[in-house]
Structure 1
């Protein structure tokens, strides 16, 4: 069984053809019938060889900038139900433009669910701080390393963590002071600048991956050229 999401958009500048993770496959196509037909033919041939068939009921088609007869032709060709953006992929909401605050509701719900499952009355301040650092900010890490989170969402996260730590009492220490390093008198919790730091790290990783792939391609080309030169030398001998 194959479960896919087909997205038709202008993929030439992106140079992306597919994204795959375990049993989730996302395929990209140009916004024309010929390109979509080639994609569907490849899926059909793959099914004949492997025995894996496309599960239409669990697959979705997403389109951008396609209307009228062209859209009808593509829908008829794929026979895959059309869905709308934003949608979730690996737990992350994907959209064409900037995400609305409402798109982060599942993210906030996940944090409040964790807090609701803990018995605050039996936890010390040290225990609560460790849960915030290890669990709640661990949940944040995944999302904050992908998106620049709106200030409204970060403020709500801090509010949930602050209420969990102090309960109904008035905060004994400001959150800003708790985010200071331990050497500076804080508890090394994360503040809003963490989001920018994680995004910078992701961009750095992407840059290094691009350099590694480029270097690998150069090495492969040099290897092929060396092998070809060796064959010519042997033939000349």
Structure 2
């Protein structure tokens, strides 16, 4: 993968590679690698696409590793229909649509909407319902809230800007589980959430 990174970085010096994607220009970023996954970024013009894919072809010839087009998607935004048709016809990619999921996280070219975060809320509720068959004490539920539930959405918030409404809803679900052992609770909470979240040295 180090050789692949050198090749893809090198193609940015070619005359046909006009410029980076606008959001990647400052970092001069045109690719990201993780294990056997590869994400490529470029400005939506035909010469830049051809140049960067020729760079990948150079790597394939040298390494024997090829792109699996059945498992690869290409995403367009702001390109002319003619250029989109050209790329799809010549290179045989499948056209994908936003948002797509990578490592369980929805990736989009715009700010996340409430509907895009449905899976995050579902994962929190699924965990709670999985624990619901166990008669856990308040102290054990508190540990699960702090160690598991809060970490689920913390992982997303490190990567994405999550709508406040979604975060408030997850917080409410955590309240409910802490006091009732379920994802819903109709009574008033015994202690305010601000006090529950205090560090132990402050009495939580």
Q: TM-score range by the shorter chain?
A: 0.7 to 0.9
Q: Which 4+ residue blocks in structure 1 deviate beyond 3 angstroms?
A: 8-14
Between Structure 1 and Structure 2, how many residues are aligned? 179
Structure 2's unaligned 5+ residue stretches are 1-19
C-alpha RMSD over aligned residues: 1.9
User: What corresponds to 2:62 in structure 1?
Assistant: 49
1:179 aligns with 2:179: no
1:122 aligns with 2:135: yes
Shift of 1:48: 2.2
The 5 A counterparts of 1:97-176 are 97-119=110-132, 122-167=135-180, 168=185, 170-176=188-194
Shift of 1:121: 5.0
Candidates 80, 84, 102, aligned match of 1:67: 80
Distance 1:73 1:53 in 2: 21
What is the TM-score when the length of structure 2 is the normalising length? 0.79
Structure with higher helix content: 1
Shift of 1:163: 1.3
Shift of 1:44: 2.2
What is the TM-score when the length of structure 1 is the normalising length? 0.69
Structure with max Cα Rg: 1
- The C-alpha deviation readout for 1:55-77, integer Å capped at 9, x for no partner, is 11100001111022122122223
Shift of 1:14: 4.6
SS of alignment partner, residue 29 of structure 1:
coil
Distance 2:154 2:140 in 1: 20
- The C-alpha deviation readout for 1:33-67, integer Å capped at 9, x for no partner, is 22211222222232222221211110000111102
